[in-house]
Chains A and B, each alone.
Chain A
Amino acid sequence: MAVLARMLARPSGAIGLGLVTLHLLAAALSPWLVPYDATAIDAGLMFAPPDAAHWLGTDQLGRDILTRTLLGGREAILVTLIATPIAVAWGGLTGIHLGLAGGRLDDVLMRVVDAVLALPWILKMLVIIVTFGAGVNVLIPTLAFFYGVPVIRVARAATQGVVARDFISAARARGHGRASIVRRELLPNVLDALMVEGAMRWSWMLLAFSSLSFLGFGVAPPTPDWGLMIADSRSFMAIAPWAALAPVAALSTLIIGINFAADALAKAVGLDRAQTTPH
C-alpha cells in the first residue's frame, strides 16, 4: 500500500521495519536454526567466553547464549503480538463509542478509566499474576485488558476530533444511520491514529513483559527469555558481560525497531507521533 511505501522511503521507517521483520523471522524460525538445546546444562563450560563453538559464549549454567538469545524473544513476541490487537480492538471500539455517545455514559466511564489509569501498573499486573500464575493464558488477557484502557482515551479523542467536522454533519443531515456513519465516515479517519497507537502499544507491552520477567514474575526458568536472562546475568556481569549484553542487544533492537517504525508510520499517515503514555 501507499502508506507502506511512504514508510520505507524514510530511513527511520526502513530501519525500523527491517529490525522488526528480522526479529519476527528469528522468533518464528529459531527452533530450527539454533545450534544447541536451550536448556542443556554443561557444568564444565560455565562462563565460556565467545569462541568458535559458542559464538556468544555460555552462561552460569553452561548453556549456549546464542541459542537462548535467539529463542528468548519467542514467548514475549507471541504473547504481545496476540494481546496488542485485542487491546487496540476493545479499547478502540469502546473509545469510539464513548466519543460518539457523549453525555452521561461518557462522563461516568471516563471517570472509571481515569481511576484505573491512576493505579500503578505493577499493582494491577501483579495482583492478577500472583493469584493466577504467569502462564500465557493469564498474561495475554491481562495485558490485553490493562493496555487497552489507555487506548480508550486515544480513540475517544480521535473520534471527538473527527465528529466535529462538517462531513460528518453532512452525512447525518442526509439521513445515514449511526452504524453507517461510523463505518464509512468515521473509521477510515480514526484508523490511522489507532494504527500508530497500536504500534506503540506493542512496544510498551514488550517492555512490560520483559520487566515482569526481569522481576521474576513472568516467564519461569528454564525457558529462555530476555528479561530473565538479564536478571540472571546481573550478578555475574563482572566475569561474563556477554551473558547480559546479548539479551540486552536483542531486546533493545526490537523495541527501537518498533518505535522507529511507529514514528515513520505516524509521519506517513500525517500524524505527529502519539503523545500518549505507556500505562
Chain B
Amino acid sequence: MLRLVLNRLLLGLITVALASAVIFGAVEALPGDACVAVLQRDAVGQRLENCRRDLGLDRPALTRYASWAAGALRGDLGVSAGSGKPIATLLGERLRNTLLLAGCTLAVGIPLALLLGVLTGLRRDGALDIVLSTGGILAMTIPEFVSATVLIFVFSIGLGWVPGIVLAAPGAPIADFFPGIVLPVAVLTMVMTAHILRTVRSSVIEVMASDFVRMATLKGVPRARIVWRHALPSALLPAVNVIALTIAWLLGGVVVVEKVFNYPGLGRFMIDSITERDLPVVQALALLVASVYVAVNLAADLLTLALDPRLRTHRARG
C-alpha cells in the first residue's frame, strides 16, 4: 500500500518536471524572446546583446533550464521581465485571489451538486430530474462568457443587485472582493455543479440497480438506510475524480471568467504575461498550474484508494 502511494507520488513529480520542461522547450522554440518583446524596435545590435546578457538569455538553453529548475525548487522563481518584481510575490497575490474564488465556488457548488445529484439519481425522471438535466445541459454547453454576460445583464444591469465587475487590485485585502465576487462565483458554480451532478446522478442510478442494493432490500433494510449506508459510499466514489478535475480547472483554467469580471487571479495574469512576452512569469505560471493539476489528481487517487476497500487489498480471491 505504501509502495503504491510512493509510486504515484513519484509519477506525479515526473509529470510536473516533464510539464515544466515542455513549456520551457516550447517557449525556447518560438521566435523572439523577452528582450525582443521589451525592446521591440530597438531590439538590435548592442542594445539587444546587453539586454540578453543582463537577463542571462545568452547562456545555453539547458543551463538556463537547470538554474531555473534549481531556483524553483528553492522557491525562487525569478523576477518578472516586465515589472522587475519577484515573481513569487506576484504569483502569491494572484494565487490567493484565485484560491478565494475557487474556495467560494467549491463551498457552494460541491454540497449543492452532491445533494441534487443524489436526489435526481434516486428519483429518476421525476420533475426535479427533468428540470435539472435540461438545466445541466445548458450550463455545460453554453460558454462561460455567455452565461457571464447574461448574468451581468440580468443581475447587474437589470436588477442592480451586485456589481458586474471587480475593481479590487491584485494585492487588495480580501474584504474588497465582496460583493463583486458573487457573479463570478455564480457562473463557475453553474458549470461545476452541472458536471458533478451528472456524474453523481448516473453513479447513483447504477448503484441503486446493483445486486447488493437489491439484497439489502430483500433483507428488509429500510430505504433511507439503504441509500445512506449501502449505496452512497459506492456511488460517491466516481464523484471524487470529477471533483478533482473541477478543482484543477478552477485553479488554472478560468481565464474567461476572470477576464469578463476583471478578477485579478491567475487566469488574467496568464493572459497578460503571455501578451507581454514576460516569459519568466509564463514559465512560473505553467509550473504552478501543472503542479496543482498533478497534486489534485494525486489527492483524488489516494482518496479513492482510502475509501474503496476493494482497491486496498491486492489479492481478491475468487
Contacts and interface: CB of A to CB of B under 8 A. Distances in A.
**A and B, direct touch (CB closer than 8 Å):** yes
Interface of A: 111-112, 114-123, 126-128, 130-131, 203, 207, 210-211, 214-215, 227, 230-231, 234, 237-238, 241, 244, 248, 251-252, 255-256, 258-260, 272, 275, 277, 279
B271 interface: yes
The 7 A-B pairs with the shortest beta carbon distances in the complex, nearest first, are A115-B18, A118-B290, A115-B19, A118-B293, A126-B274, A120-B252, A122-B255
Interface residues of B, number: 51
Contacts of B149: 230, 234, 237, 244, 248
A123, A128, A230, A234 — most chain B CB neighbours (10 Å)? A123
A230 B145 contact: yes
B19 A237 contact: no
B49 to A, nearest CB: 22
Contacts of B290: 115, 118-119
A95 to B, nearest CB: 18
A118 to B, nearest CB: 4
A130 B19 contact: no
Interface string B233-256: 000000000000100010011011
Interface stretch (B21-29, B176-184, B309-317): B21-29
Nearest to B23: A119
The secondary structure that dominates the B interface is helix
Given A115-B19, A116-B22, A256-B137, A130 B275 contact: yes
B285 interface: yes
Contacts of A227: 145
Interface string B139-182: 01111111001101100010000000000000000000000000
Contacts of B255: 120, 122, 211, 215
B106 interface: no
B253 A120 contact: yes
Contacts of A127: 23, 26-27, 30, 274, 282
A275 B140 CA distance: 13
B252 A259 contact: no
Nearest to A207: B143
Contacts of A251: 143, 146
B199 A275 contact: yes
Contacts of B11: 111
Given A118-B290, A251-B143, A215 B199 contact: no
B138 interface: yes
B289 A120 contact: yes
Nearest to B14: A111
Contacts of A241: 153
A123 B285 contact: yes
B231 interface: no
Contacts of A120: 252-253, 255, 270, 285-286, 289
Given A130-B274, A131-B32, A112 B18 contact: yes
Contacts of B22: 112, 115-116, 119
B151 to A, nearest CB: 11
A10 to B, nearest CB: 14
A244 B142 CA distance: 14
A122 B253 contact: yes
13 contacts: A112-B22, A118-B289, A120-B253, A122-B270, A127-B27, A127-B274, A130-B275, A211-B255, A248-B150, A256-B142, A258-B141, A259-B137, A260-B137
A118 B32 contact: no
B14 A237 contact: no
Given A116-B22, A207-B143, A211-B145, A123 B256 contact: no
Contact of A131 (B30, B145, B253): B30
A275 B64 CA distance: 40
Contacts of A122: 253, 255, 267, 270-271
B64 to A, nearest CB: 17
B137 A248 contact: no
A141 B103 CA distance: 36
Contacts of B137: 256, 259-260
Nearest to A272: B202
Interface in B246-305: 249, 252-253, 255-256, 259-260, 267, 270-271, 274-275, 277, 282, 285-286, 289-290, 293-294
B237 to A, nearest CB: 14
Contacts of A211: 143-145, 255-256
Contacts of A203: 141
Given A111-B15, A119-B23, A123-B289, A255 B143 contact: yes
B281 to A, nearest CB: 11
Given A115-B18, A119-B286, A255-B142, A215 B271 contact: yes
A256 B141 contact: yes
Contacts of A255: 141-143
A210 B141 CA distance: 13
